[in-house]
Structure 1
Amino acid sequence: MKEDFLHYLWKFKKFSTLSLKTAQKEQLTIFRTGDYLGLSGPDFFNAQIKIDEQKWAGNVEIHLKSSDWYLHHHEKDIAYENVILHVVWEHDTEIFRENNSEIPVLILKDYVSKEIIANYNALVSVKSWIFCERQLNEIDDFVFKNWQERLFFERLERKSEFIFQLLEETNQDWETVLFCMLARNFGLNTNGNSFFQMSKSIPFSILRKESFEIENIEALLFGFCGLLDAEKEDVYFKDLKFRYFFLLHKYNLDRTYVDPVQFFKHRPDNFPTIRLSQLASLYCSYQNLFSKVIDLKSVKDVYKLFSVVTSPYWQNHYQFDKESTKKSKALSKSFLDLLIINTIIPIQFTYSNIMGLAIAENLIDFMNDVASEKNAIIEKFASFGVKSKNAFESQTLLELKNEYCNQKACLKCAIGLELLKND
């Protein structure tokens, strides 16, 4: 038995409310259970009850045992002086206020059905991956779909926190924020942090001024990522290195430390050299990319806007000094789908919230047309009969697993609450 289960029982009145009596044998009537705010102090605020003929308005504290009151040192906290009811599973000691009046106690286990306890025990029994893996197929489709929408926007709200932080750091410069987001996601998991550090080291105003020559953009991106530190015989390498040091001097830039980029375990098309050249090409193609990203309405629009290739040198190279078969090296659809999920949709969501625009349905429609992600979590859900048909569904499943299942927050999850209902 856990305290959050008692919170659930009290909040939703999942117990027999007829003929309630306190531990002191007084008749108890509940008009309002109160608000659970998850803050310090009593668990439920502004509850309304009647004990015998006396009405009370105040707060409710919930514990597994009455003695937990002293274990948590509530007797020393003035915030608990206005507790009007102590709700417990087991009553093992009386609790008194500072004025020596006894706090009424409701022993909850006397009024909870065996069925709901059995449902709870079944839900939180020993698991192999998630608690409800054998019961997922029992969930009503309407409940599940509504919960997915909630999960989708909870995930976007968490992602938007990072964007708000960037906006604060960049003095509300959306173009700079977009560049930082794109750089991080062009680097994927392995080089994302290095690319992000690089993007924050180069003033975007300078990038915009130099965007008419892709070699200058590449010189800045490659240079700040440490890819021009060595000595090579390659003519293009020498040209980029010369441009890099010229631009450092021209704009009085300080070289900042960036985590070394990695080639190991990457397919050649994901090498940092290729991704940086594609990023440079993108910013040489558009002067005001942010306004175009905000206006994107479909996957096809994204594919069209981001139809960039590497600079000529990288069409027959993956690394300096090593020539390869010529290939245009455009951004793949699977890569662009990741940009939609991790950059474009979060940027649109955050911007629309700030501007007071209602685009929730548009974002869902957008994500419904993006291919589902493929990873171990999505595959595991599929093995339990919950298959992901698109990115909207895969994003919700990732949110469900990471923020609810992994946190054992079944009693905050619509699926867990549905499974707890009595037959």
Structure 2
Amino acid sequence: EWLRHNHQNDPAFDNVILHVVFEEDEPVRTSTGSRIPGLELKNRIPDKLWTRYLQWQHGQHWIPCQTMIDQVGDLHRSMWLDRLLVERLQAKTSQIGERLAANGNDWEETFYQFLARNFGLTANAGVFEELAVSIPQRILARHKDQLLQLEALLFGQSGLLHDAPEEEYTRQLRSEYEFLRKKYKLTPLPATRWKWGRLHPGNFPTVRLAQFARLVQQSAHLFSKILEVEEQADVEALFSVELDGYWKTHFTFGKPVEKGPKRLGPDTIRLLTINSIAPFLFYYGSTMGEEVYKDKALHLLEQRQPEKNHLIKGWEALGWKAANAFETQALLHLKKNYCDQRQCLHCAIGAELLK
């Protein structure tokens, strides 16, 4: 490695006093020609541990240490999951910092954009975020007392209003949007950006936009409200928006149904807590030096039910059943960033099992 990276010709490495390698196949020197003492680890590592490590690195199990995972104590597991969750939140908050800077350190605007992204779920996350960027939160806040205007702004900007069937409701939306579009010099997104395939009707873009309009109407400055929450029940109350009027009998424009969408479900609120609320509280606490907000983020995740997906089922099959969203988030981070990458030596579980 020393020679391959050409360190022998780089004066920056002349201060190295010891070269530690698994096997020293040849001595290494500085740019001045001085030999650097080497420490070979090959004969200092027990054969049993080295063999185990190689098996982990080249094995085909779902996680490298799968056959030994039951030997990990509850305390050791709990401490490592705590650390993993913090790592995961820190990774998520790096994106928040970049967007916050782009928004001139406007926390409300930045939270609004991230919340919009997660409102779109996986299928429409990107276009929902683009929509939020195209129509700033401060504009929506000016119209929070007029639901029709909020809906007109969101449906108009989404591009979905353009080809909506002609009926009284859509005529009202178009009339409002045309006036507001000119007033704020808005450019709508292409309707083709939205995805509909394989979505449950309750997750159709039209339903999500209607729910988002109700949420803005109920709490225009959402981030200020988020800073005040103490328990998950506070989050439930804040996001408890129910549709009525046109959207009580429609999943999309022009197609009435007997029983339409009603309110945001617990699974959606859980996702918003995990992907928007907790990361923002954690980042805000870190940025402002206020531990209380970081603690709130962790507390909210502890109160949420565990997620359900194939990765969590994989951990359950190994006997690691998560008690809440705090632990599922940590387990997802462990699988993606340690197990799948074979980073066993950097993992507290791997290090423990290699003793």
Q: What TM-score do the two structures reach when normalised by structure 2? A: 0.95
**Partner residue in 1 for 2:326:** 392
- Could you report, residue by residue, the CA deviation over 1:24-53 in whole angstroms, capped at 9, with x for unpaired residues? xxxxxxxxxxxxxxxxxxxxxxxxxxxxxx
Q: Cα gap change, 1:258/1:317 in structure 2, threshold over 3 Å: closer, same or farther?
A: closer
**Partner residue in 1 for 2:36:** 103
Q: Cα gap change, 1:233/1:362 in structure 2, threshold over 3 Å: closer, same or farther?
A: closer
- Relative contact order higher in (CA < 8 Å, ≥ 6 apart): 2
Q: Cα gap change, 1:173/1:106 in structure 2, threshold over 3 Å: closer, same or farther?
A: same
- Could you report, residue by residue, the CA deviation over 1:203-245 in whole angstroms, capped at 9, with x for unpaired residues? 2221111121111111111122110121522221222122112
What is the percentage of aligned positions where both structures have the same residue? 38
Higher Cα Rg, which structure: 1
Preserved contact between residue 144 and residue 217 of structure 2 (Cα < 8 Å): yes
Q: What TM-score do the two structures reach when normalised by structure 1? A: 0.80
Q: Which among 195, 212, 235 is matched to residue 279 of structure 1?
A: 212
Name the one with the larger helix percent: 2
Q: Cα gap change, 1:354/1:124 in structure 2, threshold over 3 Å: closer, same or farther?
A: same
Deviation at 1:106, TM superposition (A): 1.8
Q: 2:28, 2:164 → 1: CA distance?
A: 77
**Partner residue in 2 for 1:260:** 193
Q: Which among 229, 254, 262 is matched to residue 329 of structure 1?
A: 262
**Partner residue in 2 for 1:341:** 274
User: Given the alignment of the two structures, is residue 293 of structure 1 paired with residue 213 of structure 2, yes or no?
Assistant: no
- Could you report, residue by residue, the CA deviation over 1:258-317 in whole angstroms, capped at 9, with x for unpaired residues? 761122111111111111111101111123321111111111111111111125110011
Preserved contact between residue 151 and residue 399 of structure 1 (Cα < 8 Å): yes
Q: Which among 5, 25, 28 is matched to residue 92 of structure 1?
A: 25
Q: 2:279, 2:31 → 1: CA distance?
A: 51
Preserved contact between residue 212 and residue 284 of structure 1 (Cα < 8 Å): yes
In the alignment of these two chains, the number of paired residues is 354
Q: Which among 401, 405, 411 is matched to residue 335 of structure 2?
A: 401
Q: Secondary structure at the match of 2:193?
A: coil
**Given residue 217 of structure 1, which amino acid in structure 2 is its aligned partner?**
L
Q: Secondary structure at the match of 2:84?
A: helix
Q: 1:327, 1:94 → 2: CA distance?
A: 75
**Given residue 124 of structure 2, which amino acid in structure 1 is its aligned partner?**
N
Preserved contact between residue 207 and residue 261 of structure 2 (Cα < 8 Å): no
Q: 2:340, 2:52 → 1: CA distance?
A: 20
Q: Secondary structure at the match of 2:67?
A: coil
Name the one with the larger strand percent: 1
Q: 2:191, 2:135 → 1: CA distance?
A: 12
Q: Cα gap change, 1:419/1:231 in structure 2, threshold over 3 Å: closer, same or farther?
A: closer
Runs of 4+ in 1 over 6 A off after TM superposition: none
Q: 2:241, 2:188 → 1: CA distance?
A: 28
CA RMSD of aligned residues (A): 1.7
**Partner residue in 2 for 1:43:** none
**Given residue 368 of structure 1, which amino acid in structure 2 is its aligned partner?**
E
Q: 1:259, 1:420 → 2: CA distance?
A: 53
Preserved contact between residue 214 and residue 311 of structure 1 (Cα < 8 Å): no
- Could you report, residue by residue, the CA deviation over 1:105-129 in whole angstroms, capped at 9, with x for unpaired residues? 2222122222332332343341232
Q: Secondary structure at the match of 2:308?
A: coil
Preserved contact between residue 244 and residue 262 of structure 2 (Cα < 8 Å): no
